[in-house]
């Protein structure tokens, strides 16, 4: 379980794609500290398993094996060497809960439709597939590339979020442009509520 509070922005060091495998290597000095093989890390909001940790010079690297399904259903397919990714280790018992319940299971890919400044803040309008948008409510929670954000507006095919300067500087949103793909995870509580109510 994650909270959507990003702990580090890592950088894609290498992407290897074979007929039977996809391997992602990320430079992440903070996240790799005390990480063990088999530990989970949310990468752009997608829960992945660390399969190798190693150093190359001063670089601290983590390697992940990806399912082809994960590649197809996330914005990993659009990443390249040098791309920034948001990283979060799982929440431990007793940790401060700063965001909302995030499972690390991406529900769909959104696209940045609009990005503009409002004073020192930024407004992002993001298109979303119907299976995600059905759970998006005003002032509710949404996970965008692993970041727990509050919904500031909802349209028929998109939603808006406001980004404060700290979130912009501390996450990979600072390099996102109009047209870029982002991973979306809808609020888990909304899914459970719908499930329970549908049985009545």
Query: CB–CB of 87/64 below 8 Å?
Result: no
Say which CATH number the domain at 153 has.
2.40.30.20
Judgement on whether residues 58 and 122 belong to the same structural domain of the protein: no
Query: CB–CB of 186/101 below 8 Å?
Result: no
Judgement on whether residues 14 and 48 belong to the same structural domain of the protein: yes
Provide the domain count of the chain. 2
For the chain, 200 residues long, give each residue's pLDDT as a single digit of tens. 899 999 999 999 999 998 888 999 999 999 999 999 999 999 999 999 999 999 999 899 999 999 999 999 999 999 999 999 999 999 876 677 777 889 999 999 999 999 999 999 999 999 999 999 999 999 999 999 999 999 999 999 999 999 999 999 999 999 999 999 999 999 888 887 887 887 66
Domain holding 191, by residue range, is 108-198
Judgement on whether residues 123 and 69 belong to the same structural domain of the protein: no
Q: Dihedral of CA 47/86/194/132: which sign?
A: negative
Beta bridge partners of 119: none
Judgement on whether residues 120 and 57 belong to the same structural domain of the protein: no
Distance CA 194, CA 190 (A): 6
Structural domain contains residue 180: yes
Two structure tokens written together for 108:
């769909």
Judgement on whether residues 120 and 75 belong to the same structural domain of the protein: no
- What pLDDT is recorded for position 200? 60
* Full-model pTM: 0.93
Judgement on whether residues 113 and 56 belong to the same structural domain of the protein: no
């Amino acid at each position: 379980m994650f909270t959507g509070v990003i702990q580090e922005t890592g950088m894609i060091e290498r992407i290897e794609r074979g007929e039977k495998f996809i391997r992602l290597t990320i430079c992440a000095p903070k996240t790799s500290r005390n990480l063990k093989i088999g530990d989970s890390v949310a990468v752009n909001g997608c829960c992945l398993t660390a399969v190798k940790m190693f150093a190359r010079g001063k670089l601290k690297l983590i390697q992940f094996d990806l399912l082809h399904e994960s590649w197809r259903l996330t914005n990993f397919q659009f990443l390249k060497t040098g791309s920034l990714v948001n990283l979060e280790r799982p929440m431990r018992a007793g940790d401060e809960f700063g965001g909302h319940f995030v499972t690390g299971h991406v529900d769909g890919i959104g696209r940045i439709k609009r990005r503009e400044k409002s004073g020192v803040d930024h407004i992002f309008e993001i298109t979303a597939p119907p299976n995600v948008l059905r759970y998006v409510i005003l002032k509710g929670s949404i996970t965008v590339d692993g970041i727990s954000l509050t919904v500031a507006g909802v349209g028929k095919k998109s939603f808006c979020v406001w980004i404060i300067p700290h979130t912009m500087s501390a996450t990979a949103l600072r390099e996102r442009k109009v047209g870029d793909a982002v991973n979306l995870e809808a609020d888990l509580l909304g899914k459970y509520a719908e499930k329970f109510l549908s049985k009545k």
